[in-house]
Chains A and B, each alone.
Chain A
């Protein structure tokens, strides 16, 4: 189910939040309504954590993560790192990386199996991503843009990319990621998909400016209409418990 919301009069929901299958990070805003919307939707399924990164509120664009781990820039303070480690479940590995490109949310787009990264990312960082997030890493561009993390948003079930992506690019990315992809917009024609919305396997949050057409496209490509959150989380939990035994 896709929800429309705003952060302090801004429709760029993906900038101020990070949503994965195992946790949700939310920025500390002036009013509690942003946090309450996430909490109302997700509280009984996954932990919703209020945090800042490097003292800023643009947490969605600074960090990259999936259900296996969370990668943070080197500007993250020790106290924030400790807060995240204390509030996130133990299966999620919290790691800070020393990387020249510190806006990791703009450089890395990932789901639980595959990650697309900025072409200029360090090799050590790439290895760290593969290690911490447990994904296969591909260096790619989307519609000629190297900031893959901002121009596409994908989950385990589908993906939305920059509207000017050519059909060949779309097919290539689709085979790489193994999910159906659609080129579309969010927030009344904004091309920066990942800044305008945030998504996981059963729910999505978009800016309040998103038109009904865009919303229906999102719901169909990410398969959100019939999604049952408890089923997905239980399945995930079962597979995690199996791995201990």
Chain B
């Protein structure tokens, strides 16, 4: 039993799910559900269909290059079974999976950070400029909870000889 990847959306295909299509040139296409299969029959290119992993990777929405991807590869030359190695591999799989998902989450968070900052700026601007749509300016001035209190600071400027160099 092997957990394959869907050709269209790149999700894992568990046993008992999906359809496999074998083309005349012996290339095997595996699909996780009829949605992907029907899209394939419509000859859609997964790189242009927004919800697929192929599109997301191509357009930089998801993490593409990471060292954790090197661990999950199809290997064609097996090694003799060793119990210790098998045990360590199983432990490592869990750890690597967690690291990879954390990095993928960080990648998306970073990508969305600029948008978040922009939205906050826009919200602040809107609060300053358009608050008159919500409350009348007179009421606003009288209600102390809607704006920061204006603090007046007395600045005394002493006129001395040293402060006036430019007059000469």
Contacts and interface: CB of A to CB of B under 8 A. Distances in A.
Interface string B16-28: 0000000001110
A95 interface: yes
A102 interface: yes
For chain B, what secondary structure do more than half of its interface residues adopt (helix, strand, loop), or is it mixed?
Answer: loop
Contacts of B27: 100
B79 A85 contact: yes
Contacts of A97: 76
B78 A93 contact: no
Contacts, number: 30
Interface in A32-51: none
Nearest to B79: A85
26 contacts: A77-B1, A77-B2, A78-B2, A78-B78, A79-B1, A81-B78, A82-B78, A82-B81, A84-B78, A85-B78, A85-B79, A85-B81, A86-B80, A90-B80, A93-B77, A94-B77, A94-B78, A95-B76, A96-B76, A96-B77, A97-B76, A98-B76, A100-B26, A100-B27, A101-B26, A102-B26
Contacts of A77: 1-2
A90 B82 CA distance: 14
Contacts of A82: 78, 81
Contacts of B77: 93-96
Interface in B1-41: 1-2, 25-27
Interface string A135-147: 0000000000000
A124 to B, nearest CB: 12
CB-CB nearest 10 A-B residue pairs: A96-B76, A85-B78, A100-B26, A81-B78, A86-B81, A95-B77, A82-B78, A85-B80, A78-B2, A86-B80
Interface in B25-83: 25-27, 76-81
Interface residues of A, number: 18
A90 B77 CA distance: 12
Contacts of B26: 100-102
A98 B1 CA distance: 19
Interface of A: 77-79, 81-82, 84-86, 90, 93-98, 100-102
Contact of A100 (B2, B25, B81): B25
Interface residues of B, number: 11
Contacts of B2: 77-78
Contacts of B76: 95-98
A81 to B, nearest CB: 5
A94 B79 CA distance: 9
Interface string B74-101: 0011111100000000000000000000
Nearest to B2: A78
Contacts of A90: 80
Contacts of B79: 85
B125 to A, nearest CB: 57
A154 B1 CA distance: 36
Contacts of A81: 78
Interface string B101-134: 0000000000000000000000000000000000
A104 B110 CA distance: 49
Contacts of B25: 100
Nearest to A101: B26
Contacts of B80: 85-86, 90
Contacts of A79: 1
A52 to B, nearest CB: 14
A150 to B, nearest CB: 18
A100 B27 CA distance: 8
Contacts of A98: 76
A97 B26 CA distance: 14
B144 to A, nearest CB: 71
A95 B76 CA distance: 6
Nearest to A84: B78
A101 B26 CA distance: 8
